[in-house]
Structure 1
Amino acid sequence: MWILFAFGSAFFAGITAVLAKCGIKDVDSDAATAVRTVVVLVFSWVMVFVSGSEIGPISAKTWTFLILSGLATGASWLCYFKALQLGDVNKVAPIDKSSTVLTMLLAFILLGEPLGVYKVISMVLIAIGTYLMLNIQKSTTEVKGYKWLVLAVMSAVFASLTAILGKVGIEGIDSTLGTAIRTVVVLIMAWMIVFVTGKKNTLKHIDRHSMLFLILSGISTGASWLCYYRALKTGQAGVVVPIDKLSIIVTIAFSYIVLKEKLSAKSWLGLILITAGTLLLLV
């Protein structure tokens, strides 16, 4: 059963990017991220009460790393959705998923987790596959230039830090409760960005179509987390995490169906290598 939840996590994580792309098409990405985070926050705390998680004393160390993890998540989201606004989903998503490689490297350096032969080969395949899928536009305009690439890379870096910081912070607390607390931090950060940058007036310009897709994106993120932590509760983390990363296949499929974004032959090869590298982690 836990394997089904793991694939459920990958499915919902995969459609999140496409739904978000539809929602932020004509909306400021920072404002959209703030609105979307409200939905994720509600979903996260519903998870806490539905799962019956006990809210007990939390140590200073746990608070520190949960807050840092939340800040890293917020930074990752802000970069990711801005990148989605400027670039194609099928180019931004692979870079974001390359955070798997960064996470494994940081886990080796900071947490002392071993790097076996399969992990190293997997990292190489994912890295090469990501490079092949980039297909960077040579235009000098803002939309088709390199800004989306820089933001996507920053998103991956912050996503990796999220995983490392979250792993340390969630050791002494129920994972569902830890996720809900982290979401509060993300919410505060996202709304602070909106007000500090003077973008609060852009909120009233969000039309019903964009709001619908932002809400659906937030719900899909919450559903992904629900499945993800349910799978982790009864399954092996070393299997659940790689399956979750297969969400890139769902993302590419939906970007083709919904957004009509097509892959070149080189990009298809890159996707195959990323998928092979991810599946190799299951060995």
Structure 2
Amino acid sequence: MKTFVGSWQFWALGAAVFAALTAIFAKVGVSAVHSDLATLIRTVVILAIIALVVTAGNAWQPLETISSKTWLFLVLSGLATGASWLCYFRALQLGDAAQVAPLDKLSVVMVAVFGTLFLGERLSAVNWLGVVLIAGGAILVALR
């Protein structure tokens, strides 16, 4: 039997907590530095932490054992992540965190749509209602 700590729900909630903290910390962090430089600093910190995690978990593997398809999609994911972070930090520099973060979370809606269109995932009517409510809620929170 799985423990809560071993469940996807635990880790998803952890991601949400740290994403919220990211917005708050980043809003303060970009107040006195260009948002692109702030993104670089954050990226270097993340790279160091992930290198430690991979080393501690003995998760290194020879790079040549990674398929070209995996490389392609990980590189595309990295490019999308970088673009997202650059946009996010610029938005935080220009707007309030309490308004920027909800619009950023429209990514939840987009993942639902893209997952059904490109990955063949299926959502029930109740799931789609949730997607619509998330979209509406994000927009309402972002309004001034």
Structure 2 length-normalised TM:
0.88
Equivalents in 1 of 2:108, 2:96: separation in Å?
Answer: 20
Q: Which runs of 5+ in 2 are unaligned?
A: none
SS at match of 1:114: coil
For 1:112, the aligned partner's letter is G
Q: 2:20 pairs with 3, 8, 14, which one? A: 14
- The aligned amino acid for 1:16 is T
Q: Quick one: which of 100, 111, 127 aligns to 1:103?
A: 111
Deviations 1:142-165 (A, max 9, x none): xxxxxxxxxxxxxxxxxxxxxxxx
Output the CA distance in 2 between the equivalents of 1:54 and 1:47. 10
For residues 17 and 137 of structure 2, the distance between their equivalents in structure 1, rounded to whole angstroms, comes to: 21
Give 1:51-90 correspondences, 5 Å limit. Answer: 51-56=57-62, 57-90=65-98
C-alpha displacement of 1:26:
1.4
Give the Å deviation of 1:6: 4.0
SS at match of 1:17: helix
User: Tell me, what secondary structure is at the counterpart of 2:32?
Assistant: coil
Partner residue, 1:24:
30
Structure 1 Cα separation of the partners of residues 11 and 87 of structure 2: 28
Runs of 4+ with >6 A deviation: none
**Deviation, structure 1 residue 54:** 3.9
Q: Which has the higher contact order (CA 8 A, sep 6+)?
A: 1
Shift of 1:7: 3.1
Distance 1:132 1:6, change over 3 A: closer
How high is the sequence identity, in percent, across the aligned residues?
48
Q: Structure 1 9/134 Cα, relative in aligned 2: closer, same or farther at 3 Å? A: closer
Three-state SS of the structure 2 residue aligned to 1:104 is helix
Amino acid at match of 1:73: T
Cα distance in 2 for partners of 1:104, 1:79 equals 21
Does residue 47 (structure 1) correspond to residue 53 (structure 2)? The answer is yes
127, 130, 136: which one aligns with 1:122:
130
Alpha-carbon distance, 1:131 to partner: 1.7
Rounded to whole Å, the distance in 1 between the matches of 2:72 and 2:29 is 33
Distance 2:119 2:45 in 1: 33
Instruction: Tell me by how many angstroms 1:5 deviates.
Output: 4.2
Per-residue CA deviations over 1:245-270 (Å, capped at 9, x if unaligned) read xxxxxxxxxxxxxxxxxxxxxxxxxx
How many residues are matched?
Answer: 136
